[in-house]
Structure 1
Amino acid sequence: MNALFLGMAFVLAAAAGYWMLGRGKPRPAGTWAMGSLLLSFGLAFASYAPVVQDAVGATIPHVARLLSNSFALMAATSVVALMMQVNLEPDDARRRIHSCVVILAASLIALTALFAWEQLDHDSSRIHALYLLTFVGSLTFTIVGFLRQALLQAGTAVRGSVTVGLRTAAVGCVFALLYVAYKTTVLVSLGLGYHLAYEGERCSSLVAGSCAFSVTAPALGVLLILVGLTLPAVVYPIQQARRRRWEMRSFDRLGPLWQDLTDASPEIILSDADLDPRTDADFRLQRRVIEISDGLLTLLPYRSLEVQLAAQRAVAASSDSGTSTGSAITEAAVVTAALAALRANQPQLVPAPADTGTGTRAADLRAETEWLLLVADAYAHSDLVRVTNGGHPDPVGA
């Protein structure tokens, strides 16, 4: 138990330090709220550790309960503040966050006063009930507010990682509400004298008795909320790195086709720009796609219908029949022959029709790139393209 809770506390404290101090400037909205959230949850986990409870309990009996409850309220308020900073206009967010901080401060003062009164009155059940009522009311208000915002934002989020993250956090709220329900049961039992639940039991297992609700439920709630809120921040740089790698590889794969098209029609090359391949991969790829598309337009009068039909027959007899790869092989064969006709200045009397899918891909750079990659790969490597064009082993212009 000590290793689990103290380990989580250390990890969360380290994450809070990185989030608030280790990131570059300017820091995005919600940085400090996220840092305080991580730190508060870390302190809450530390307060669950038996060794910490024993250490602070030796000074003031049961003070670990006050600490964990206080840190839980602070963390819950930080969660709501983070959502407001990210989703609302700055002025509106500041106004609402100020109200949440006032409620938090009032709740913490009330909890501390009631805890001290309870200690002086020798653990009066009535005072403890007031303490629980204050804690449960404040925590429920905060959790429900966050749950409502998380579900609303999950329904309108554009990025999939944000949607998944918010829904994960919403599941965490459900576990937190189970904890609230347990505290409410304790409160009712104190008020009615039924003793339906016992608070103060030392937990040696995460699933035994009331520990499943008093420790495991809030711990799972914390973990799911943290995972949900940090998932987009973790996934986004991974997605960006994968996208840049795809862009750089696609740029290189389009090279042979682009080279032959620009050799035949130099006018399609856009104005030069000083671009960094590592940071401007998207722009470089977009330029290359545009230049290849322009080059293919210059070949329209030279597209051989005879070559197109021959390529279609060859593809129909192959394993690529009826696939996008098969269509790309046919297009690559036509492009290869058209480049040769352009160099020989021999336009076709009845040119072959252009690829019919161009219009549907016009507004989708990735779809157009994927199509051109198939054509470029077939142009450079397909044996069917070489056979259809008289068995020439080398691309035109190579």
Structure 2
Amino acid sequence: MNALFLGMACILAAAAGYWVFGRGTPRPAGAWAMGALLASFAAAFASYSPLVEDTVEAVVPHVARLLSNSASLAAATSVLAVSFQVNLPREEARRRTRSRVGLLAAAVSGMTLLFAVEQMAHRSPQVYALYLLLFIAYLGFAVVDFLRQALLQSRSSRRASVRFGFRTAAVGCGFALVYTVYKLTVLVSLGLGFHLFPAHSKCSSLVAGPCVFSVTSPALAVLLICVGLTLPAVAYPLAQYRRRRWEERSFEALAPLWQDMAQAMPQIVLAAADLGGEVAEEPDFLLQRRVIEISDGILALRPYRSQQVEEAANKLSPDQGEKRAAFVEAAVVKDALAAMRVGRFPRVAAAPATADASARKSLRDDAEWLLLVADAYAQHGPVRVADDGRTESVGA
């Protein structure tokens, strides 16, 4: 148990330091709230460790419970602060965060006072019950408040990682509510004198009752809420990396088609932009430029597009749907480039390709269509139409 809880505490503390100090870029809105959340979770995990518990109780007897409960309430407040940053306007988020921090300070102060009275009263059950009541009241309020916002955000967010993250956090709230109900049951047991659970007992197993409620449930709640709230921050750079890799590969995949067009029509190559070197070398900028140049080249080839070649390519295409349209477009473009070089115009000109043109509303849509055309262009030879109307595909 020491290795598990202390290991998680170290990981969370390192993550908190990264959010607050080590990002290397200007801190985004909510960075301090996220840092406080991770630091509170780290303290909560550390407080569950028997090693930490024995160490602090060697200095102040029975104080580990107070530290653990205070860390749990601080974590719950930090979770609320992060959710306010995500869900609410800036000023409203600040106002609500201040009010929750005030409630936290009052709850922790009251718990500390009741803990001291409990120890002076030789661990009075009545004082302990008041301590539990204060702890449960604030924790239950914070969990329900966050659960409501997590469910709202999981339905309204446009980013899939945010939706999934808040749903994961909502599951963590479920475990937190299990822990809250357990504490409430302990409180009722004390008040009625049933003593259903041994008071002030220590846990040696994560699955033995009542430790599964007193330790495992809050630990799972901390873990799931932490993962849920940090997932979007981890998923975003990964998504950016994947996007850049796709842009780089797409830029290279379009090279054969672009080179043939640029050689035949040098005018389609855009002049060097008046941009800084770093911007001009960005993959999205390079890909967008290449897509525009190829699209301009296809427009310039309109007088040389052959309807006969288009019909022949339709008959020869082994594919269906968009791949078939890309095969036909590649064949028409290849024939049109050859016709431009020798100044030959077709007897019947073909119309420009319009396959799914209305659906292509972004750079990625245009690039994906041209990638299909470029792939067919590179893999298949030109389509020839004999004088007797027969068609054949010449090797690439």
TM-score, normalising length from structure 2?
Answer: 0.93
Bigger drift between 294-303 and 207-216 goes to 294-303
| Residue equivalent to 1:396 | none
Instruction: Indicate the SS of the match to 2:69.
Output: helix
Report the CA distance between 1:256 and its aligned residue. Answer: 1.5
> RMSD value over aligned CA atoms?
2.0
Aligned partner (choices 315, 324, 328) of residue 326 of structure 2: 328
Once residues 131 and 174 of structure 1 are traced to their aligned partners in structure 2, the CA distance between those partners, rounded to angstroms, is 23
Give the AA of the match of 1:242: R
Q: Are the counterparts in 2 of residues 303 and 352 from structure 1 also a CA contact under 8 Å?
A: yes
| Residue equivalent to 1:357 | 355
Once residues 6 and 395 of structure 2 are traced to their aligned partners in structure 1, the CA distance between those partners, rounded to angstroms, is 70
- Evaluate the alpha carbon distance shift between residue 195 and residue 279 of structure 1 in structure 2; reply closer, same or farther with a 3 A threshold: farther
Once residues 362 and 23 of structure 1 are traced to their aligned partners in structure 2, the CA distance between those partners, rounded to angstroms, is 37
Matched, 1:81 2:70: no
Report the CA distance between 1:386 and its aligned residue. Answer: 8.2
| Residue equivalent to 1:61 | 61
Give the AA of the match of 1:330: V
TM-score, normalising length from structure 1?
Answer: 0.93
Give the AA of the match of 1:179: Y
Once residues 277 and 350 of structure 1 are traced to their aligned partners in structure 2, the CA distance between those partners, rounded to angstroms, is 44
| Residue equivalent to 2:136 | 136
Instruction: Indicate the SS of the match to 1:347.
Output: coil
Once residues 55 and 182 of structure 2 are traced to their aligned partners in structure 1, the CA distance between those partners, rounded to angstroms, is 26
| Residue equivalent to 1:382 | 380
Bigger drift between 219-228 and 52-61 goes to 52-61
Once residues 294 and 51 of structure 2 are traced to their aligned partners in structure 1, the CA distance between those partners, rounded to angstroms, is 68
Once residues 126 and 393 of structure 2 are traced to their aligned partners in structure 1, the CA distance between those partners, rounded to angstroms, is 96
Give the AA of the match of 1:335: V
Instruction: Indicate the SS of the match to 2:24.
Output: coil
Which digits, 9 at most, give the CA deviation of each residue in 1:62-116, with x for residues without a partner?
Answer: 2100000000011111111112123322222211111111101000100000000
Q: Are the counterparts in 2 of residues 332 and 385 from structure 1 also a CA contact under 8 Å?
A: no
Unaligned 5+ segments in structure 2 are 386-390
| Residue equivalent to 2:43 | 43
Once residues 349 and 391 of structure 1 are traced to their aligned partners in structure 2, the CA distance between those partners, rounded to angstroms, is 21
Report the CA distance between 1:321 and its aligned residue. Answer: 2.6
| Residue equivalent to 1:163 | 163
Aligned partner (choices 293, 298, 301) of residue 299 of structure 1: 301
Q: Are the counterparts in 2 of residues 307 and 389 from structure 1 also a CA contact under 8 Å?
A: no
Which digits, 9 at most, give the CA deviation of each residue in 1:334-393, with x for residues without a partner?
Answer: 100111222233333422233232422331321221111111111122247589787374
Q: Are the counterparts in 2 of residues 314 and 384 from structure 1 also a CA contact under 8 Å?
A: no
Unaligned 5+ segments in structure 1 are 394-398
| Residue equivalent to 2:388 | none
Misfit runs of 4+, over 6 Å: 386-390
Report the CA distance between 1:32 and its aligned residue. Answer: 1.1
Aligned partner (choices 300, 309, 312) of residue 311 of structure 2: 309
Bigger drift between 266-275 and 182-191 goes to 266-275
| Residue equivalent to 2:24 | 24
Q: How many residues align?
A: 389
Instruction: Indicate the SS of the match to 2:204.
Output: coil
Report the CA distance between 1:263 and its aligned residue. Answer: 2.7
